[in-house]
Amino acid sequence: MQTLTVALGDRSYPIHIGVGLIHKTQLIAANLPQKKVAVITNATIAPLYLATLTSALKSGGIEVVSIVLPDGEAYKNWETLNRIFDALLTNRCERKTTLIALGGGVIGDLTGFAAAVYLRGVPYIQVPTTLLALVDSAVGGKTAINHPLGKNMVGAFYQPRAVIADTETLNTLPERELAAGIAETIKYGLIRDPEFFVWLEKNIARLLACEPDALAYAVERSCRNKAEIVALDEHEHGVRTLLNLGHTFGHAIEAGLGYGTWLHGEAVAAGMVLAAELSQQMGLISRQDVTRVTALLARAKLPVSAPELGVERYLDLMGHDKKVEGGKVRFVLLKSIGEAFVTDLVPDAALRDILVRRTVNA
């Protein structure tokens, strides 16, 4: 097991990474103010891991409330959030009852947001079961639900007590979900870690084959990057914004197609290609750099062309992006592979040209 720390003063917390950690309930018990938890998961993950986790917790004398939600991005909304609150209130969960998010990014975001607002704040722990959650969404305290006009538009920054990243759960991950998680690892290489990007170019086949050593390295390196960024900028006023590379386009894709049609990582992959193309058109990176980005994403079995939603539809959806300031959409672009920056100085003609040339009928 490896342990990293998200350094946030008295709200610092560990990220435990290893095999079989879902059985090591002492990692959870060490962060409980009360021997009662509510495990929140979905109908896909529950048959795989819920009994294992709850049995281990109960054997340690911990009372467990299980809350099983429907699976999918389409359920990341107020209605599902209220189902969590209904279950918590029915089972008399108190302020010292810890919520445990057992699942991917949707479950993690829903659980974190529920924890942030239930009884004005209760503790929670992330137990991610997808690669995307392990390397990105479970770390950093971003919690949210979606709105029809934009992804993750209603939420809160609320940090977990711990992240328990059991890489063994990736063995049951469908190929499409695995690829979606790889998109976020590639993002770290692009925004701040060029050596990791080169490693990914050399080892992408090993990741797709779920080789344990390769997965462990990619998860640890990604979590280390995320932890360092969050420690520097918890509330996304500066460097944390760079983590949104590809997301301005990607969130528009998800909302435009309907949540759940494309996985988040798939939309981000296409968005990163658009961002790279826009960077090249503005004279920031070379054509060779764009080719490297596109080639790696394609080898990871991710989409490298965005769906054709219409230029005006894209612009309207991006206008609801959380990075908008003073009515201007801010984009994360590349100065090189391994160096990103944020700007609102994107020529309208260049943006429109990219949206015409790099989108196809889905």
List residues with catalytic annotation: 120, 142, 184, 226, 236, 240, 244, 247, 251, 264
Closest by CA to 2, choosing from 172, 218, 269, is 218
- Give the distance between the most distant pair of CA atoms in the chain: 63
What does the alpha-carbon distance between residue 178 and residue 186 come to, in Å, rounded to a whole number? 13
Contact between 264 and 132 under an 8 Å Cβ cutoff? The reply is: yes
What does the alpha-carbon distance between residue 349 and residue 340 come to, in Å, rounded to a whole number? 22
Cross-strand pairs, 103 = 128
The CA-atom distances, in angstroms, between 27 and each of 4, 24, 127, 298 are 13, 6, 11, 38
What does the alpha-carbon distance between residue 151 and residue 138 come to, in Å, rounded to a whole number? 17
What does the alpha-carbon distance between residue 255 and residue 262 come to, in Å, rounded to a whole number? 10
